[in-house]
Amino acid sequence: MAAAAPKIQRILLKLSGEALAGGKPYGFDRPAMQAVAEELRPVLAAGVQVGLVVGGGNLFRGLPAAADGADRATADYIGMLATVMNALALHEALETAGLPARVMSALAVTGVAEPFIRAKALAHLAKGRVVLFAGGTGNPYFTTDTAACVRALDIGAQLLLKSTKVDGVYDADPVLHPTASRYEQLDYDEVLQRHLGVMDATAVVLAREHGLPVRVFDMHSRGALARIVRGEAVGTLMSPSASDRSGR
């Protein structure tokens, strides 16, 4: 009997730069990138279209550099270029694993990546290629969480998947507080009011304004991504509240 069709046809996956560093404090870890490829493999095989935004925190972040006295906008451009380096590294790891992929950048770096053109991105996705969206939003003063929301909306993703170090959103840091409990579901305003730090506030507000559901999960949990696209409730879902859904 043929496998059941996935419930979700197009996703936007957000990985932090740290996800490419494995446990290292800086740089790349090849096994970590190969593990990303193995998590994507069954999802692509099921026919799900995958857009991916990768952060830059394993290489450079603008905010701490600005706190050290650097010009904020310049520091942010360096951070955006870090995301381009990450996208190139991950692209190579995916292709080596036999998964077709393309890098599209919001910043012009035409020697190494295509410019972001929405119609072309959609064409790549339709051909089963993972599209790695590099360069964040292309603007300083934003983060790649916001870029992930923008790209998810841009490509019409049904779900934004944000991978974190723990398996969802907790009411306290589960590393420091072993009794912390995980939320199954939250609405956007709860995330903002409780300062849950799932994503930066700009990203949460953007998701709220457009009713974009966001699932927070741990990519290191093997098979979690595949279970999510089959419709399983893995991690924590951030979505419109029941009252919003009823059109109040």
Q: What is the binding site for ligand UDP (CB under 6 A)?
A: 16-18, 55-57, 61-63, 75-76, 79-80, 82-83, 136-137, 139-140, 142-144, 147
Nearer to ligand UDP among residue 189 and residue 200 (C-beta)? 200
Q: At closest approach, how far in Å is the CB of 141 from ligand UDP?
A: 6
Burial call 149-162: b when 16+ CB within 10 Å, e when fewer: bbbbbbbebbbbbb
Is the distance from CB of 16 to CB of 57 less than 8 angstroms?
yes
Minimal CB distance residue for ligand UDP:
55
Distance CA 64, CA 176 (A): 24
Q: At closest approach, how far in Å is the CB of 245 from ligand UDP?
A: 29
**Phi and psi based region of residue 171 (left: phi greater than 0; alpha: psi -120 to 50; beta: remaining):** alpha
User: Per the structure block, which two tokens stand in for 222?
Assistant: 């093997």
Nearer to ligand UDP among residue 78 and residue 122 (C-beta)? 78
Nearer to ligand UDP among residue 199 and residue 230 (C-beta)? 199
Is the distance from CB of 30 to CB of 67 less than 8 angstroms?
no
Residues β-bridged to residue 216: 162, 236
Nearer to ligand UDP among residue 16 and residue 105 (C-beta)? 16
Q: At closest approach, how far in Å is the CB of 244 from ligand UDP?
A: 27
Nearer to ligand UDP among residue 49 and residue 105 (C-beta)? 105
Q: At closest approach, how far in Å is the CB of 232 from ligand UDP?
A: 25
Q: At closest approach, how far in Å is the CB of 40 from ligand UDP?
A: 18
